């Protein structure tokens, strides 16, 4: 498979950890940019593990974490202890040769290390720097910390979900992370384009809760336009019925997965043609219901009748049946089914890369493609410090004795160090 | 004072489909200085049908969602059934860098406006980005898409909601926004690649909204793909392995709680005076705490009920615990952090009152975005943009 070189010639120093920042650089790595991921043995990417111990180190668990290995493919990895002068100096030398730096430390961390934008810009006047601490790098909350869950909470989005009797409902363990990550890639690409034309770098400040505002735009705008937030209707819709998630019979999942009892299908009807198709397929179960106004007025009875019908069907067969007649319907998949999904399999969405300490591992392709095949992936996530020698020798011109000295001093290394 | 430079100045984009996906993708270009033209059919783009609606405005200018998606863009109306309209579109495409549409390349073969060979003749370096629900290949390619359908198939909703079900759906147009955002990254990459000299010739890209939304579930998918079955859904706001995690009522609003690492758990217990819990060795790990989540939930709820969410948020953050207020839609516009950062801006629709809507989530300091602002009415730019084709102007 040929290498993707759309962004060949772009070099990015990646100080980010966790999900959001590394996902941003994964997009660029997949398109051919060179990503130099900087960790340290003392402070490895926390997505390698957050409940660490010496046993965790000895068992090489830092190399086996699925989250880390999923978002860091196609990157090079160097360890530099940034609490030491030697580490800081080497980082500056890397930055001097880079187009951009990206980081998602909590506010205040980089200035403490002597590595804020002003310092790095002095090293490289054309530098782009993307800062994506949780709440952005300005404002009263700039030093506050957050996970993707905190970001979702602070965005107000949970007030748009669930039933009126529920507390505000979250959608995910870390909903904010992937959305911030894709936004980070977008911001970086815009700045790279400006740099290409003008030679001018700049500072970029990304706020992760603000990245979720466009996803909640319907609620935010309704509040502004009408003075009221949308009613919390659970799975129902204010203008359409049926609109919800309905039970299905216990049966085989997709791709030969074992049957489970938690079988559901989402069904929505947005127009009369879809309603008539559903009514015809379910006949006579839905014969008592009329136009949209009638269905909305009798939505309890409608959902009961529809649930009774769907409950006698296998979700896969029912999805196909409904979709063949033009009714929007989707089987509710579990995460464990996605790699086996026949559509994604057919589209070769999952690619396999062999990773040290792990073996063959499926990887999602990027969601955009040219032609029928996805962009080929090249390399699995790097092991800790895997490219120390390559980067320090080829890029910075260090000799063997200097590498030995850095290793002896603990500035570089290939194993996490548990600190007391 | 001269206006700040626009980073995407000189890029010209045509959106012929006007779905939420294409419109949001184009919005990110437009807000950063690209020229975006909505080429709409006589009835207008599909986004004009979308709620919420503006009081005292009538179709096709009533959709506030369309207005927000359409700031900084022009609107022309072309009935592409007409030969002259096809020629007018061809003229626009000849000078564009990017064409946004829903239909994929294969389905456009032989199309009077969008046949790939014809597009290549019209503009040899054009980038075409198709944004659609499932992509042009695969068993679901002809499925009728919707946000809920995609979210169901992407494994997003299975874990949301009450134990007994049904799983709860996200509201609004979230899947499509994520699709449009992802497509922006794909399209912008191509535009940049051309300017870097890494790519030439017509490129037809396609973004699947389903695959875009797998960004939420890909890690879980890889982690669990060898499992026959998943653990049962654990209830509202319960997402393993993180615990405590949730949203609790306080006397002045809602408090969002997350404590993942041992130090966060210890600080959280100190904040709330949970002395017994912090000493319990079974609660030393998130997984251990999760086993007893109902009990711990009750304790947290009791501890925070009569306290101020705002105060707990700031005190917790000072102790390095990632707490957050959970503002309602009404409160959101008054949150200091968001006000200070200009997170909302005014949209001025052609009819009815102006309203507030989200601005760009990231700020480029040298070349800031120009989000929101005025919205062109349907066909408002026919006269200026189609001046060489007077026969198609209204």
**Residue-range domain boundaries for chain B:** 12-215+341-392, 245-327
pLDDT digits (tens, 9 = 90+) for B356-393: 999 999 999 999 998 888 999 999 999 999 888 887 86
The C-alpha torsion from A122 through A123 and A124 to A129, rounded to 10°, is -80
B329–A220 CB contact, under 8 Å: yes
Query: What pLDDT was estimated at residue A273?
Result: 98
| Option in A166, A187, A245 nearest B362 (CB) | A187
- Residue B367, classed as helix, strand or coil, is coil
| Chain A contact probe: residue of B10, B53, B148 with most A CBs at under 10 A | B148
**Are the CB atoms for A418 and A116 separated by under 8 Å?**
no
A189–B171 CB contact, under 8 Å: no
**Are the CB atoms for A258 and B228 separated by under 8 Å?**
yes
Q: How many Cβ atoms sit within 10 Å of the Cβ of residue B293?
A: 18
A200 vs B contacts (CB less than 8 Å): 366
**Cβ of B52 under 8 Å from any chain A Cβ?**
yes
The residue in chain B having the minimum alpha-carbon distance to the alpha carbon of residue A321 is: B143
Q: How many Cβ atoms sit within 10 Å of the Cβ of residue B301?
A: 14
Instruction: List the one residue out of A20, A38, A46 whose CA is nearest residue A133.
Output: A20
CA distance A329 to A268: 7
Shortest distance between the Cα of B91 and any Cα of chain A, in A, equals 25
pLDDT digits (tens, 9 = 90+) for B202-234: 999 999 999 999 999 999 999 999 998 898 999
Query: What pLDDT was estimated at residue B393?
Result: 61
A368–B225 CB contact, under 8 Å: no
Q: What is the ipTM of this complex?
A: 0.97
The residue in chain B having the minimum alpha-carbon distance to the alpha carbon of residue A27 is: B185
Q: Which CATH class is domain B12-215+341-392?
A: alpha beta
Query: What pLDDT was estimated at residue A239?
Result: 96
Q: Which residue has the tokens 């100190």?
A: B270
**Are the CB atoms for A176 and A208 separated by under 8 Å?**
yes
Q: Which CATH class is domain A243-342?
A: alpha beta
| Option in A10, A135, A161 nearest B170 (CB) | A161
Instruction: List the one residue out of A406, A376, A378 whose CA is nearest residue A391.
Output: A406
pLDDT digits (tens, 9 = 90+) for B89-127: 999 999 999 999 999 999 999 999 999 999 999 999 999
| Option in B158, B168, B329 nearest A156 (CB) | B329
**Cβ of A348 under 8 Å from any chain B Cβ?**
no
Please indicate, yes or no, whether the overall pTM of this predicted structure exceeds 0.90.
yes
Residue B243 pLDDT > 60? yes
**Cβ of A284 under 8 Å from any chain B Cβ?**
no
Chains A and B: how many Cβ contacts under 8 Å? 494
pLDDT band at B2 (very low <50, low <70, confident <90, very high): low
A219–B203 CB contact, under 8 Å: no
Q: Which CATH class is domain B245-327?
A: alpha beta
Query: Which distant-in-sequence residues (6+ apart) come within 8 Å of B133 by Cβ?
Result: B140, B143, B145, B146, B149, B150, B208, B209, B210
Residue B1 pLDDT > 70? no
Structural domain boundaries of chain A?
Answer: 11-206+347-409, 243-342
Shortest distance between the Cα of A137 and any Cα of chain B, in A, equals 10
Do A11-206+347-409 and A243-342 have matching folds? no
Residue A261 pLDDT > 90? no
B232: tokens are 């049962």
Shortest distance between the Cα of B348 and any Cα of chain A, in A, equals 12
Q: Which residue has the tokens 């090079």?
A: A76
CA distance A183 to A190: 11
Mean pLDDT score of chain A, rounded to an integer?
A: 95
Stretch among A8-17, A45-54, A254-263, A296-305 having the lowest mean pLDDT = A254-263
Q: Residue range A188-214: average pLDDT?
A: 97
Residue B354 pLDDT > 70? yes
Residue B4 pLDDT > 80? no
pLDDT digits (tens, 9 = 90+) for A234-256: 999 999 999 999 999 876 554 44
pLDDT band at B317 (very low <50, low <70, confident <90, very high): very high
Q: Which CATH class is domain A11-206+347-409?
A: alpha beta
Residue A258 pLDDT > 50? no
**Cβ of B230 under 8 Å from any chain A Cβ?**
yes
**Cβ of A382 under 8 Å from any chain B Cβ?**
no
Q: Residue range A217-226: average pLDDT?
A: 98
Q: Which residues between 149 and 208 in chain B have a beta carbon less than 8 angstroms from any beta carbon of chain A?
A: 149-161, 165-174, 177-179, 181-193, 195-196, 198-199, 203-208
Residue A1 pLDDT > 70? no
Q: How many Cβ atoms sit within 10 Å of the Cβ of residue A300?
A: 9
| DSSP single-letter state for residue B98 | E
**Cβ of A418 under 8 Å from any chain B Cβ?**
no
Looking at the DSSP assignment, which residues form a beta bridge with residue B344?
Answer: B358
Query: What pLDDT was estimated at residue B295?
Result: 96
Q: Residue range B14-21: average pLDDT?
A: 98
Query: What pLDDT was estimated at residue B386?
Result: 87
B135–A346 CB contact, under 8 Å: no
pLDDT digits (tens, 9 = 90+) for A340-377: 999 999 999 999 999 999 999 999 999 999 999 999 99
pLDDT digits (tens, 9 = 90+) for A123-154: 999 999 999 999 999 999 999 999 999 999 99
| φ, ψ (nearest 5 deg) of residue A202 | -170, 170
Please tell me which residue, B53 or A258, carries the higher pLDDT value: B53
């Amino acid at each position: 498979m040929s290498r993707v070189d759309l962004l060949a010639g772009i070099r990015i120093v990646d100080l980010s950890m966790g999900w959001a920042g590394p996902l941003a650089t994964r997009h660029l790595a997949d398109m051919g940019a060179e990503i130099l991921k900087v960790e340290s043995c003392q402070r490895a990417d926390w997505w390698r593990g957050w409940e660490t111990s010496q046993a965790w180190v000895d068992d090489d668990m830092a190399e086996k974490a699925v989250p880390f290995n999923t978002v860091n493919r196609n990157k090079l990895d160097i360890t530099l202890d940034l609490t030491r002068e030697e580490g800081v100096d080497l980082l500056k030398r890397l930055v001097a040769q880079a187009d951009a730096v990206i980081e998602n430390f909590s506010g205040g961390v980089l200035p403490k290390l002597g590595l804020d934008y002003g310092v790095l810009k002095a090293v490289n006047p054309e530098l782009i720097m993307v800062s994506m601490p949780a709440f952005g790098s300005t404002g009263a909350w700039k030093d506050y910390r957050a996970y993707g869950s905190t970001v979702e909470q602070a965005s107000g989005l949970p007030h748009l979900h669930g039933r009126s009797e529920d507390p505000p409902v979250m959608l995910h363990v870390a909903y904010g992370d992937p959305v911030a990550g894709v936004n980070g890639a977008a911001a970086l690409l815009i700045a790279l384009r400006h740099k290409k034309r003008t030679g001018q770098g700049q500072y970029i400040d990304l706020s992760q809760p603000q990245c979720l505002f466009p996803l909640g735009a319907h609620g935010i705008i309704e509040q502004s336009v009408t003075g009221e937030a949308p009613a919390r209707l659970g799975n129902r819709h204010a203008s359409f019925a049926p609109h919800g998630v309905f039970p299905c019979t216990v049966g085989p999942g997709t791709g030969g997965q074992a049957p489970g009892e938690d079988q559901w299908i989402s069904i929505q009807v947005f127009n009369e043609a879809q309603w008539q198709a559903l009514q015809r397929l379910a006949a006579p179960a839905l014969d008592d219901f009329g136009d949209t106004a009638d269905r909305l007025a009798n939505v309890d009875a409608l959902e009961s009748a529809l649930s009774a019908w769907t409950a006698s069907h296998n979700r896969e067969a029912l999805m196909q049946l409904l979709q063949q007649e033009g009714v929007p319907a989707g089987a509710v998949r579990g995460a464990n089914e996605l790699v086996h999904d026949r559509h994604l399999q057919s589209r070769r969405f999952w690619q396999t890369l062999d990773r040290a300490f792990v073996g063959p591992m499926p990887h999602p392709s990027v969601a955009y493609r040219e032609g029928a095949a996805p962009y080929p992936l090249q390399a699995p996530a790097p092991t800790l410090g895997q490219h120390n020698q390559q980067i320090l020798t080829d890029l910075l011109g260090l000799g063997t004795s200097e590498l030995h000295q850095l290793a002896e001093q603990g500035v570089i290394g290939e194993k996490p160090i548990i600190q007391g | 004072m001269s206006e700040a430079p626009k980073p995407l100045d000189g890029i010209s984009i045509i959106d012929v489909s006007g779905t939420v996906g294409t419109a949001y993708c184009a919005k990110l270009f437009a807000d950063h200085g690209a020229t975006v033209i909505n080429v709409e059919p006589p009835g207008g783009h599909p986004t004009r049908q979308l709620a919420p609606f503006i009081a005292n405005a009538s179709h096709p200018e009533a959709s506030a969602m369309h207005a927000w998606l359409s700031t900084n863009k022009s609107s022309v109306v072309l009935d592409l059934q007409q030969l002259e309209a096809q020629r007018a579109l061809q003229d626009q495409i000849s000078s564009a860098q990017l064409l946004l549409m829903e239909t994929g390349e294969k389905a456009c073969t032989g199309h009077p406006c969008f046949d790939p060979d014809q597009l290549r003749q019209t503009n040899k370096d054009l980038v075409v980005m198709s944004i659609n629900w499932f992509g042009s290949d695969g068993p679901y390619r002809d499925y009728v898409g919707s946000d809920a359908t995609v979210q169901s198939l992407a494994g997003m909703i299975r874990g949301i909601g009450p134990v007994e079900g049904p799983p709860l759906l996200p509201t609004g147009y979230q899947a499509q926004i994520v699709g449009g955002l992802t497509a922006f990254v794909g399209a912008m990459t191509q535009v940049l690649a051309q300017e870097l000299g890494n790519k030439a010739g017509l490129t037809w890209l396609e973004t699947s909204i389903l695959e875009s939304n797998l960004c939420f579930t890909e890690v879980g998918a890889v982690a669990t793909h060898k499992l026959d079955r998943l653990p049962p859904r654990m209830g509202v706001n319960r997402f393993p392995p993180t615990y405590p995690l949730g949203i609790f009522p306080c006397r002045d609003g809602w408090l969002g709680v997350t404590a993942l690492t041992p130090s966060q758990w210890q600080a959280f217990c100190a904040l709330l005076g949970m002395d017994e819990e912090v000493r319990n060795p079974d609660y030393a790990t998130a997984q251990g705490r999760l086993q007893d989540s109902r009990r711990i939930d009750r304790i947290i709820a009791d501890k925070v009920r009569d306290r101020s969410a705002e105060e707990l948020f700031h005190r917790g953050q000072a102790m390095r615990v990632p707490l957050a207020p959970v503002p309602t839609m009404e409160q959101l516009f008054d949150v200091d952090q968001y006000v200070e950062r200009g997170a909302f801006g005014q949209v001025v629709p052609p009819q009815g009152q102006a309203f507030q809507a989200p601005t760009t989530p990231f700020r480029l300091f040298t070349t800031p975005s120009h989000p929101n602002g005025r919205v062109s009415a349907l066909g408002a730019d026919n006269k200026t943009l189609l001046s060489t084709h007077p026969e198609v102007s209204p």
